[in-house]
Chain A
Amino acid sequence: QKEVEQNSGPLSVPEGAIASLNCTYSDRGSQSFFWYRQYSGKSPELIMSIYSNGDKEDGRFTAQLNKASQYVSLLIRDSQPSDSATYLCAVIFNDMRFGAGTRLTVKP
């Protein structure tokens, strides 16, 4: 069983819409959760971290965590073409574990 699972996509949304990216994880003891954005050919860039149940907002990004359901999500409001990238979910077990990523395309 994979430790961190994401839909590979591609997820396509029109410009201005809300993009919703989802991630599930296997270890109930995990306490730290992260979202990274990776443009094609580039390295991952940290965009959000979340440690407590509930929502955390930062600009157009909202991370949502539900530890009981072992589920973390990322919402991108007012999506822009520049948001087109692969989004990696990362969870700390003993060390950091990454999902395979969801590829997001925002169409003008």
Chain B
Amino acid sequence: DGGITQSPKYLFRKEGQNVTLSCEQNLNHDAMYWYRQDPGQGLRLIYYSQIVNDFQKGDIAEGYSVSREKKESFPLTVTSAQKNPTAFYLCATHPGQGAHEQFFGPGTRLTVL
């Protein structure tokens, strides 16, 4: 994680509520990503952004929304349209051209009550 912070660490949501997960980085990395991890499954890509004010859908974008107004920040909103949101949410960054590795924040565990 290092220069990537996610908050809150734990989040509880009632059905029908929208919640926003925060991801902030001070690494000056261009690209940011949101993944979802369910038990026994690999990470699945929700959204990613390679530049400010631009973002693309990943494999499971339905029921989620994002914004990228600043290079340092890439918040994820889990909307009420996401029917099974209980999961571990991971934010990652990527330095940009010439590098391929992604680095992860500490994660947010979301539970629907």
Which interface class (under 10, 10 to 19, 20 to 34, 35 or more) fits B?
10 to 19
Say yes or no: A42 contacts B106, CB within 8 Å: yes
A89 (CB) vs chain B CBs: closest residue: B42
- Give bound CA distance, A8 to B39, whole Å: 11
Q: Is B85 an interface residue (CB 8 A)?
A: no
Say yes or no: B104 contacts A32, CB within 8 Å: no
Please report the number of residue pairs spanning A and B whose Cβ atoms sit closer than 8 angstroms: 41
- Which B residues touch A32, using CB under 8 A? 100
Q: Is A45 an interface residue (CB 8 A)?
A: yes
- Which B residues touch A34, using CB under 8 A? 100-101
Contact status of A95 and B101, CB under 8 A, knowing A42-B107, A43-B1:
no
B94 (CB) vs chain A CBs: closest residue: A96
Contact status of A88 and B90, CB under 8 A, knowing A43-B1, A46-B103:
no
- Give bound CA distance, A46 to B41, whole Å: 18
Within the complex, what minimum Cβ distance (angstroms) separates A52 from chain B?
Answer: 13
Q: Is the interface of B mostly helix, strand, loop or mixed?
A: loop
Say yes or no: A49 contacts B41, CB within 8 Å: no
Interface string of A73-93 (1 = CB under 8 A from B): 000000000000000101010
- B residues sitting closer than 8 Å to A (CB atoms) are 1, 40-43, 45, 48, 58, 90, 100-107
- A residues sitting closer than 8 Å to B (CB atoms) are 4, 8, 32, 34, 36, 42-46, 49, 51, 88, 90, 92, 95-101
Q: 27 A-B Cβ contacts within 8 A?
A: A4-B42, A8-B40, A34-B100, A34-B101, A36-B104, A42-B106, A43-B1, A43-B90, A43-B104, A43-B106, A44-B43, A44-B104, A46-B101, A46-B102, A46-B103, A49-B100, A49-B101, A88-B43, A90-B102, A95-B45, A95-B48, A95-B58, A97-B42, A98-B42, A98-B43, A100-B42, A101-B42
